[in-house]
Amino acid sequence: MTDKNELAQIGVVGLAVMGSNLARNFARNGNTVAVYNRSPEKTHALIEAHGEEGNFVPSETIEDFVASLERPRKAIIMVKAGKATDAVIDQLAEAMDEGDVIIDGGNALFTDTIRREKDVAARGKHFVGAGISGGEEGALNGPAIMPGGPKESWETLGPILESIAANVDGTPCVTHIGPDGAGHFVKMVHNGIEYADMQVIGEAYQLLRYGAGMEPAEIAEVFREWNSGDLDSYLIEITAEVLAQKDPETGAPLVDVIVDAAGQKGTGRWTAINGLELGVPITGIAESVFARALSSSTAQRSAAQEGQLPAGTIQELDVDKAEFIEDVRRALYAAKLIAYSQGFDEIKAGSEEFGWDVDPRDLATIWRGGCIIRAKFLDRIRAAYDNNADLPALILDPYFEGELEDLIDPWRRVVVAATQLGLPAPVFASSLSYYDSLRAERLPAALIQGQRDFFGAHTFKRTDKPGTFHIEWSGNRSLTQTD
């Protein structure tokens, strides 16, 4: 239904797949929605196909669109991230009045969001960068929403976002994350964790397929079973679906027909870059980004396959199949736990760096529904931070420490098996090294400090007394205290 005279509670600019689904979600949940797209065809198409789903107020100019909103006006931008977003923000800020709220629901880089918030605030309007997860399906049926921006905007926006968000046990999967770029920052790390979660599932599949010699349909059954335990999650569920799918053209398992070069749109890369900048070892996420990049290095991979790279002495898998499957399940759980632990570390570091005061319990709550990493496991994470909001690391929560007791040996066995079989398992293996590094009493960093002092007089600290020291390496090798 459309009514040009009715004022809308919310507006959506950009009516490609995400924007039109989000607009329909608002309308289906009883909100009157103003809609506008640069090229009017998309607006007409939306109204024609779905106008009966609720109250839409379509406009063909940004001025009409703004005029169709009730005050304080609230408009969500769902256009291509980057320059298009800046262009639309500028148009909206021009046409809107003081106190109105511009929301960017695209996948913006959080530093862009910080900049935009400053610019829009200087023009007297509010700007909210909101991470929206769940893809097309989530946008239509209930996404997880991570809004940043000023707290006062949340007061006006909260109820309307709650009306369309996913809902778990009566709790909507949306909350105010923190000021300026906080929402887009946590959405970025969410996507980084998603990369790692998908990669560890991929590594488990690879081991079952080429280590245990199982067919995709059989592995699909294993994943179905895993989905009823600790690993219960959307990603495990869809993995079983994908593995069970046959290619409609050839009848072969679909996974065998798909080119093994994984794409990416950049949020995983941003998470890894930010982890490096903040000095947080997000090894699981970074390895997952590298694994996608390597998979897409097609020319190099072909050359390596045709070349003479030795495989070494490959050992056959010599274990009971059922035991191996269970070991892989536990290794997957362990590596996933590390990836989440590292992701939460990055959020904590980002929150401290930018003064956002992000509460990890909020994330464990709102990620339980709507988003791609939704999982039962998030209830455990929530409980961990409920018990101790200042956990030094998620894996140091007593529940997870107890889980790791049961996971550690299978995890080591699987990494050994992958190595012996010559099968790549970059996240399984690097997560185990991270875990062993974290618990090691002594790290080779002492030697590195010695090397740094040798070639660059970078100094070192001593274990037995305070102060900063240097050895006269090119002289008499005496010890001097530099401060």
Residues that bind ligand NBP (CB under 6 A): 14-19, 37-39, 42, 78-81, 84, 87-88, 106-107, 132, 135-136
Cβ-based nearer residue to ligand NBP, 106 or 148 = 106
* Minimum distance of ligand NBP from residue 111's CB (angstroms): 16
* Minimum distance of ligand NBP from residue 312's CB (angstroms): 41
* Minimum distance of ligand NBP from residue 132's CB (angstroms): 5
Cα dihedral 63, 69, 70, 75, rounded to 10, equals -110
* Minimum distance of ligand NBP from residue 142's CB (angstroms): 14
Cβ-based nearer residue to ligand NBP, 90 or 232 = 90
Cβ-based nearer residue to ligand NBP, 19 or 410 = 19
Within 10 A of 117 (CB to CB), how many other CB atoms are there? 22
Cβ-based nearer residue to ligand NBP, 264 or 459 = 264
Q: Where are the alpha helices (DSSP H) in 51-172?
A: 62-67, 83-95, 110-122, 135-141, 151-164
Cβ-based nearer residue to ligand NBP, 41 or 326 = 41
Q: Which among 186, 209, 446, 441 has a CA at the least distance from the CA of 328? A: 209
Classify residue 216 as left (phi > 0), alpha (psi -120 to 50) or beta: alpha
Q: Edge-to-edge strand order for the sheet containing 10-13?
A: 56-58, 33-36, 10-13, 74-77, 101-104, 126-133, 144-147
* Minimum distance of ligand NBP from residue 176's CB (angstroms): 19
Residue 356 — φ and ψ, nearest 5°? -95, -25
Residue nearest to ligand NBP (CB): 106
Where would I find the beta strands (DSSP E) of 9-154?
Answer: 10-13, 33-36, 56-58, 74-77, 101-104, 126-133, 144-147
Q: How many CA atoms lie within 13 A of 467 on its CB side?
A: 9
291 DSSP 8-state letter: H
* Minimum distance of ligand NBP from residue 166's CB (angstroms): 14
* Minimum distance of ligand NBP from residue 86's CB (angstroms): 9
- The Cα-based distances of 285 to 176, 206, 271, 434 in angstroms read 25, 18, 8, 12
Is residue 48 exposed (0-12), middle (13-18) or buried (19+ Cβ within 10 Å)?
exposed
* Minimum distance of ligand NBP from residue 307's CB (angstroms): 38
Q: Where are the alpha helices (DSSP H) in 142-258?
A: 151-164, 182-206, 216-226, 234-244, 254-257
What is the chain's alpha carbon radius of gyration, rounded to the nearest angstrom?
Answer: 26
* Minimum distance of ligand NBP from residue 416's CB (angstroms): 38
Distance CA 266, CA 112 (A): 14
DSSP strand pairing (74-77 vs 56-58): unpaired
Cβ-based nearer residue to ligand NBP, 35 or 429 = 35
To the query of whether residue 70 is one of the catalytic residues in this protein, the response is no
Cβ-based nearer residue to ligand NBP, 269 or 380 = 269
Task: Record the tokens describing residue 255, joined without a space.
Answer: 């996974």
Catalytic option among 74, 187, 336, 348: 187
Per the document, the length of the chain is 483
Cβ-based nearer residue to ligand NBP, 129 or 275 = 129
Give buried/exposed letters for 242-256 (b at 16+ CB in 10 A, else e).
ebbbeeeeeeebbbe
To the query of whether residue 194 is one of the catalytic residues in this protein, the response is yes
Distance CA 148, CA 118 (A): 13
Cβ-based nearer residue to ligand NBP, 62 or 332 = 62
Distance CA 90, CA 78 (A): 14
Catalytic option among 42, 74, 194, 403: 194
Q: Which among 12, 37, 14 has a CA at the least distance from the CA of 23? A: 12
Give catalytic residue positions.
Answer: 187, 194
